[in-house]
Structure 1
Amino acid sequence: MRFITVRRCLLAELVLGTPELKILPSQPIQNRPISQSMLLSCRVEVENKNLVTSLQWHDTSGRVIGDNSDRYSVEAGIHTEHMPGGLALIIPMLQERHAGNYTCTAKYANTELLAKSVLIKTFVAITWEDAPEEQYPILNSDYKVRCKVTANPAPMVDWLQNGEQIPPGGRYIVETDGLLIVKATEADDGTYTCRAIVIETGELSERNIRVEVHTPPAFEKMDSSVTVVEANTASVMCKASGKPLPTYSWIKSSTREDLATADRFSVEKHTGVLTIRDISKDDDGEYKCVATNAAGKAERVVKINVILKPRIVTYKNISIATGKEAKLPCSASGRPLPTVTFRKLTSDRFVVGPQQDDRIVVENTRDDERHETIGTLSISNILRTDDGLYECIATNEGGEALKNVHLTVEFKPSFANTPMREAWSWQNNPVNITCLAESIPNATITWHRGDIELNGRYIDNNIRKFGEGPLSTLQILPIDRKYYGQYTCKAANPLGVALHEINLKEARPPSNVLQAKLEVITATTITFSFVGPAENGGLPVRKYAVQYKEERKDWRDARNKTWPVDSPYILEGLEPQTTYNFRFAAQNDVGFGNWAAPEHHTMPKRSYPEEPHILSNSGEDGVVMSPYSDHYELTWKIPADNGEPIDQYSIKYCPVKHVDGHWTETEYQCYTSDLSSAEHTAFVLRALTADTHYKIELRAHNKIGFSTPGEVVIKTARGKYTLKSLDPPVSATEGAALSSGAIVSIVVASLFVILIFVDLSCYVVNQAGLLMLICEKMRGSKTSDEDAKLGSDEKEPLKDAGKEATIQPR
């Protein structure tokens, strides 16, 4: 039976080929570096894999190597794993103890034993033990570029600089653990290649090392002392060269404190800037700047001098009497000691030494013990004008300090600012007489009449005193003529006495008006001017009054008119061709004087209106400059109509030229416009030519005829000719060209209509309002014919007017 099986196997070998084991990688000797992982796979080269059994790996001692669950294999650092088509031998980290023969075995057809071995040899690969890739020699020092390399077998080492072989000898010396550079210079900067070769294994490895020669810090030119100002912020520079660039620190010499962490200090370590905030006097002293880099460090001492700003230590108000010498001492501190000067506010500064005013001297003295400057402002023969605020100014390099004090000049009383020299009263009206005494210190005021002190031992209920000084008022009720006369105000202080006299006089109504001049007379109006009364009664004239009547009527039927002084004295509403009698009187605060002798004037007959008065502001040459280039607004005052109402205005305007002292019309066309309403007071001339003179004539018309023309010459502004409208000129009161006066009139009329409507509603609904009052009046007594004659004027208000004028107590 066995023979038959063997025979079948031999027959299978003849048919399928001889089975054998194959190890991959296939080299019989495997040279591998230690510390690396390794895998060898073993498979049977046969067609029918099912005939192969017991595939195993054996270690160098012949023991079967198990998988990673086998304790022995794990401890040996070696195990097997089944893989498709074979069995893998795995060494996770190859060590020298793993060197030797390893055998793969298998059974074929349960009868034939198959085996194949592989020899594993180990070696130590090139290892860079001490070869930093960046190294930094120090300038002018010997430096070894470190490159310690190990391998087994031992390697051979050579050097390249920037890709070129370094020849032996010279400043470069190859040593077992590096390349020695003798007295390194900056020219030695570059890339050095340390190359290791193991000939036995054919291993080659290179390490590129960047070499940069470092230079220690060296300070550039910088100030040995720096001046800073108290309370400010200052920066101190520290600059050094070196490779690599140095970093900086600052140390205060007296305390050895690192200022990078100190309050109020900050250090920029890359630029060397020391910043001090809110500098104080304790910051004065020596400071050390330390510059450090990989090549070393350098130190530099800087003296910081702190300037102390000036401070005013003492400076006080003083008081001094006129004629004496005043001294204003002002002490100030600071470093360096300040200079002290003075200035009276609103005046120039007083410098040290004598001044333009030889009464004034400024001196400076030093108090080294107290570290102060004492400035003194001396003013001899003090005057009242020297009173005021004086500023002490202390100045040094750190700035200036200011302080004000008041120099009070004491003087005896003065009534220089008491304008009252006389006072007036009448008809037992009380009157105040007042005096103001200027003095320092304040004066006490008493009032005297002759040798008698009023309200002292002398008591009179008709005399009252208000205020003891510096302002005092005496209120007098002159019930008798004995109270009129001279009163003396007496002011006294420790420096002297002053007297001021006020005369109380009795006022009277003014005397007769000397003359009433006839200035202008028209058919319905008359204008006067007055030559005032010879005696004003002690008080200024306030008003003038006229009483007038038709010649054949009695003075009881006369009408009155009163004008304030300096107003136009015009009577209106008179009848043409009628003779009137006029008499005049003047009024002051006491009352009206007597009527002057009557005079009569006959009014002219009805005629054409007076010449219209054109309102304009002409220049020196009599030409009015228009602000516009193409139009002008003409305004005028309504003239007197001379007894017949004005029914229209006629306006004519023509371009003119100034020839031989006269304005002559040019060849251009003249324009004429008529305004049918007598209420017009403005008119806009349109379509004018720029930079052109125009003569304008304005006439007023009533049914008797045209007035003489009011004339004005205007000149339009320069500019491009703009003909806004070729239509005829229109009144300023029409459309968009309404004047401001017309607009106001329309608004007032509208308000008046609204008020009438409201009043009518009140009358109908509540039986109240203005209409109700009128109705009630109409039911009462009839208005007298005499009142009707007066119209809006006054009738005989003059006889009792004196009772209205009184002087009230103040």
Structure 2
Amino acid sequence: NCSPMKLHHSSQLAVHALVAALHLLVAPRPAQSAAGVVISNKPADGDTIYVDRDRSISLSCRPVSTETSLTLFWYHPRNYYTPVSNQDMNKQVYIKRDTSDPRVLMIFVNNFKDDDQGRYYCRYMNQLVNPPEVVSEDYINVRIIQRIEINYAPTEQWIPFNKTSTIFCSFKGSDISVAWFFNSQPIRTGGRYTINPLQGLIISPSLSSDQGTYVCQARSTGSDFMDVNIVVRVFHKPEITYGPVIKYPAACINGMDCYLKCMATGTPVPQVIWYRAQDRNRPLHLYGTNKYFVDTRANVGELRIAMAEFLKDDDTYICRAVVTSDVIREITADMYTEAEIDVVVHLIPQFRNYQAMMNREVRLGDTVELVCEVYATSPLDLQFQKYGTYAPYVMGPQPDDSRISIRRSQDPVDGRVHRLHLEIKRTVYLDSWNYTCMAVNPAWNSTLNGTVMVLMQPNLTSNNVSMMYGWLRNVTNITCISYGLPHPQWRWYRQFAEIPPYTDNGTYRIFTWDYEIYSQSWLQVYPDYGIERWVFDRYICNASNRIGSGRHEMMFYKASVPGPPRVTVVSTTASSVQLDVQPPAEDGGMHLWYYELTYSALSGQLTWYGPVQFALNSDITIHGLMPSTDYSIRVRARNAVGVTADNMQLPLQIRTKDRGSPDPVIFLSSNRSTYPYSQTLRWKVPVNGGDPLVGYEIRVRPVFYDPARRAITGYKGGWILYRPPFYNPYLSEYRVTDLEASTWYEAEIKALSRVGESQTQRTVFLTAAPDALGRPDRVLSRAPPALAPSWRGALLTAALLAARLPLTGGFL
């Protein structure tokens, strides 16, 4: 209900305002005069202040002069040409006089928004002129503080290896600058790095060394800043490192659990998931049945197919190594790697038609065939092998025996039925054997034994002897052996009288044993007193089967003790006799075991010493005899029956030589010493010459020795004398010590008795290098002279030995 008067007045005011605005635009800004204005909120170092969004602000403007003809006005950035006149405090923008100083004009802005930003002008105007004149003005620039907000900056990120990668970090707001730090070091654009404020840090290419902690730092006007810590890991595409393979057994077998295994690596560690080609998007562990069991731990993938079924579980199985989907969006193409394995469930080879393999009989010289029939899946390897041999037969005729040939066939209707044929022509008795058919496929290794029996009459082998020996009250086995199948029945005869098969009367017992193609029978005979005149007789063994029979005759003789061996004297000394013994002319029908020797002196107590056993091929030497003494020696032979009877031979009569000096000592030790500071001298105990030894005398001296000429070329020192303690007549070694390393020595030795001493024997030896074994032996020292036996002690020892062994002697 506006009147025309009011409309006209409004139009007139609008025209005046437009004219004033044009005047402000066109007219030059007045210079600051004495009648100036001051905005109290204005900072001293500039003309801009920052305020928070949605907050209320107030600005104060105060005139400098006290003129009353001038008026203060505030202008909002949304309207630089019309002063703010609203004084309603409920409005968003209004003005108000300061109650404490009415000259101060204040402008209030509630809920400060983006469109409230800009320059706020305070003008001191003279309204008495037309148009109004701006006497003085001041402004303040009010801006909203840009609080930094994260737009997209995950604190954990993955970047692909060896590709252009972005570490994402972006913020909301304007006038924001972004800086990057890696391991506390600033990153500058250049080289592999590019900083994009709207996306983040671009690295090209990314390396393994780029893994670490990054700081994305944002700063805005108004001194607001924010740091975002980002942990970056370098992504390596999953890689199949093992498999997929059939872990156990070597193949999937019908009716058995089948295990497939696959392993993968990558960063992060991938998860291995199994699929079937018929449904590549459905993991097997989600089937929810008791058919598939999957180990889905990181890096490991094991699939168990429970009770694998023939044909039903045949498929291509896929091992897929997958990393979690929350890695980063840029590398989804490299999130997984997969490998495939073709799984075929095999049937275990099953043998059929056993009759074609079992107990195949054929007459000698005819042809026989074994047929091995197998039901199994391919690939199938079929072989025949003779039991107990190492090499199977080859296909076709055998290179070493053309009588035997192998061929293979397959059922034309059912391809899973396979047959292997073994044919033997012109059979011989050695063809009677077990033959093994071996069927091998990826599922199993099955074997079946078949038997070929070549029928022939018993053939008594040449192992049977024509004569046997036995003796009274001793069991003797008379043996017959035959070959050929079927195994025979045995009959035994003495002369032509049959001995009943199951006889056990104390004199005869019959045993039979069959093995392979052979058969053996024993007639056990026990001769006793009273039956010896008829039990030693001719015996006949008879072997018969359904093809024929064979027989063998043997004479059973009575064995006896052996005759006397042939003995001759090889040498005689004052204290020993050496004999040569040859086997007797009659061994009594039995093998000799050994010789027995006894002897006695023909004076004194006439005591026989022995018997002492000697091997058939050994030397017989009697030691420790008395000199100038007659001895009677008897050598007898022993076999299973007994020993040579005394009445079958006369004793051998000999006389020892007169007492004399010991024989020379023979060195046995090496001329190279094991130790650097000592040497063990070894010798053969000499013949004592009829009087007991009382000791040895050893001398050693260093020399210059030429091994090439085997000659001593000079001497380094004098003799060192050793007298070994002599408590044992069989002393045969002594260790000399306190020697120099790497030095040649000459050694002398002679044996001593009460009669005299032996000739001196010499040898040379070389001591080892210093500490050749890592241990010195200089700590070993020869016995001091006080410990060496005196001549009086040696004579006493010799007297005791002579008293203890008056005429006895001894064996060696």
TM-score scaled to structure 1, two decimals? 0.54
8 A contact 1:447–1:489 mirrored in 2: yes
Deviation readout 1:693-748 (Å, 9 max, x if unpaired): 666443211011112456666565567679843987459xx99xxxxxxxxxxxxx
Distance 1:386 1:422 in 2: 32
Deviation readout 1:274-324 (Å, 9 max, x if unpaired): 875559564433679999997999999998532456743228764445655
RMSD between aligned residues: 6.2
Deviation readout 1:372-405 (Å, 9 max, x if unpaired): 5434444445556667776655566x58735363
Distance 2:313 2:408 in 1: 29
8 A contact 2:437–2:450 mirrored in 1: no
1:675 aligns with 2:724: yes
SS at match of 2:778: coil
- For 2:654, give the aligned amino acid: H
Deviation at 1:522, TM superposition (A): 2.5
- For 1:449, give the aligned amino acid: R
Distance 1:726 1:303 in 2: 76
Distance 1:524 1:429 in 2: 43
1:327 to 360, 363, 370: 370
**Identity in percent:** 17
SS at match of 1:433: strand
- For 2:522, give the aligned amino acid: S
Deviation at 1:607, TM superposition (A): 1.4
Deviation at 1:532, TM superposition (A): 3.5
- For 1:405, give the aligned amino acid: N
2:382 to 324, 327, 340: 340
8 A contact 2:492–2:523 mirrored in 1: no
- For 1:340, give the aligned amino acid: L
Distance 1:519 1:399, change over 3 A: farther
Distance 2:273 2:724 in 1: 97
Distance 2:451 2:272 in 1: 60
Distance 1:792 1:473, change over 3 A: farther
8 A contact 1:656–1:695 mirrored in 2: no
2:533 to 477, 481, 491: 481
- For 1:506, give the aligned amino acid: K
Matches within 5 A, 1:236-385: 252-253=277-278, 257-259=282-284, 261-262=286-287, 264=292, 276-277=303-304, 280=308, 282-285=312-315, 305-308=342-345, 311-314=348-351, 318-320=358-360, 324-327=367-370, 329=372, 331=374, 333-334=376-377, 336-343=378-385, 346-357=389-400, 358-367=402-411, 369-381=414-426
Distance 1:587 1:633 in 2: 42
Deviation at 1:569, TM superposition (A): 3.2
2:653 to 600, 609, 620: 600
1:191 aligns with 2:198: yes
Deviation at 1:605, TM superposition (A): 1.7
Partner of 1:631: 678
Distance 1:436 1:691, change over 3 A: farther
SS at match of 1:704: coil
Deviation readout 1:662-711 (Å, 9 max, x if unpaired): 65464344544222415233211335566766664432110111124566
Matches within 5 A, 1:413-492: 413=458, 416=461, 422-427=467-472, 429-435=474-480, 442-455=487-500, 461=505, 463-469=507-513, 470-478=520-528, 479-492=531-544
8 A contact 2:637–2:644 mirrored in 1: yes
Matches within 5 A, 1:30-179: 125=113, 133=151
Matches within 5 A, 1:538-553: 538-541=589-592, 542-546=594-598, 548-550=600-602
SS at match of 2:715: coil
Deviation readout 1:350-387 (Å, 9 max, x if unpaired): 44444322334333333462435434444445556667
- For 2:695, give the aligned amino acid: Q
Distance 2:368 2:298 in 1: 64
Partner of 2:260: 233
Deviation at 1:791, TM superposition (A): 7.3
8 A contact 2:464–2:479 mirrored in 1: no
SS at match of 1:705: coil
8 A contact 2:699–2:749 mirrored in 1: yes
1:649 to 696, 700, 704: 696
8 A contact 2:406–2:422 mirrored in 1: yes
Partner of 2:583: 532
Distance 1:318 1:612 in 2: 77
Distance 1:572 1:287 in 2: 90
Partner of 1:562: 611
Partner of 1:804: none
SS at match of 2:660: coil
SS at match of 1:576: coil
Deviation at 1:644, TM superposition (A): 2.2
Partner of 2:8: none
- For 1:233, give the aligned amino acid: L
Distance 1:659 1:34 in 2: 114
8 A contact 2:458–2:484 mirrored in 1: yes
Deviation at 1:329, TM superposition (A): 1.7
SS at match of 1:634: strand
Deviation at 1:603, TM superposition (A): 1.9
Distance 1:495 1:565, change over 3 A: farther
Deviation at 1:190, TM superposition (A): 7.4
Deviation readout 1:780-808 (Å, 9 max, x if unpaired): xxxxxxxx9997999xxxxxxxxxxxxxx
SS at match of 1:635: strand
SS at match of 2:390: coil
Partner of 2:558: 506
Matches within 5 A, 1:783-794: none
- For 1:667, give the aligned amino acid: Y
Distance 2:371 2:475 in 1: 51
8 A contact 2:285–2:292 mirrored in 1: no
TM-score scaled to structure 2, two decimals? 0.53
Distance 2:342 2:319 in 1: 16
- For 1:465, give the aligned amino acid: R
8 A contact 1:250–1:267 mirrored in 2: no
Deviation at 1:518, TM superposition (A): 1.6
1:590 aligns with 2:642: yes
- For 2:370, give the aligned amino acid: K
Deviation readout 1:500-538 (Å, 9 max, x if unpaired): 444321123333444x22223232332322233322222
- For 1:531, give the aligned amino acid: Q
Deviation readout 1:80-107 (Å, 9 max, x if unpaired): xxxxxxxxxxxxxxxx988799999x9x
SS at match of 1:543: strand
Please, which runs of 5 or more residues in structure 2 have no aligned partner?
1-39, 42-50, 59-88, 116-145, 154-171, 179-193, 201-220, 227-236, 253-257, 514-519, 789-804
Partner of 2:47: none
Distance 1:501 1:371, change over 3 A: same
2:662 to 609, 617, 620: 609
1:405 aligns with 2:449: yes
Distance 1:660 1:434, change over 3 A: same
SS at match of 1:562: strand
Deviation at 1:649, TM superposition (A): 0.6
SS at match of 2:376: strand
SS at match of 2:749: strand
SS at match of 1:481: helix
